[in-house]
Amino acid sequence: MEKEKIAVSVARFVRSGQLAKAVPELERLVNLEPADARFRLELAVLYSKVGQTPKAVDQLVQLARRYEKDGFGLKALGCWLQVGRLAPDN
């Protein structure tokens, strides 16, 4: 139930363009559901949009490693490509 409320709050903030307010809410959601890759990916996107590139890269690296471990090579490759775009020196 709490997850649904947080998800609605995040969606409301994103729709209204208040991305900085959506980030802490989505962080709470990721902490409640650390195994949900969709939340982690959305968090990485929000981090990159609000200028927190190192945090976005960290989320994407964690997600890519998880995809690799679970046997989803193409998804992992997509995450690594995004890491390369956000941090080309990394």
pLDDT digits (tens, 9 = 90+) for 9-44: 999 999 999 999 999 999 999 999 988 999 999 999
Does pLDDT of 90 surpass 90? no
Place of tokens 């997850």: 3
Provide the whole-model pTM: 0.88
As a whole number, the mean pLDDT across the chain is 93
At 52-85, the pLDDT tens digits run 999 999 999 999 999 999 999 999 999 999 999 9
- Residue 35 Cα distances to 7, 61, 76, 87, angstroms: 16, 14, 15, 25
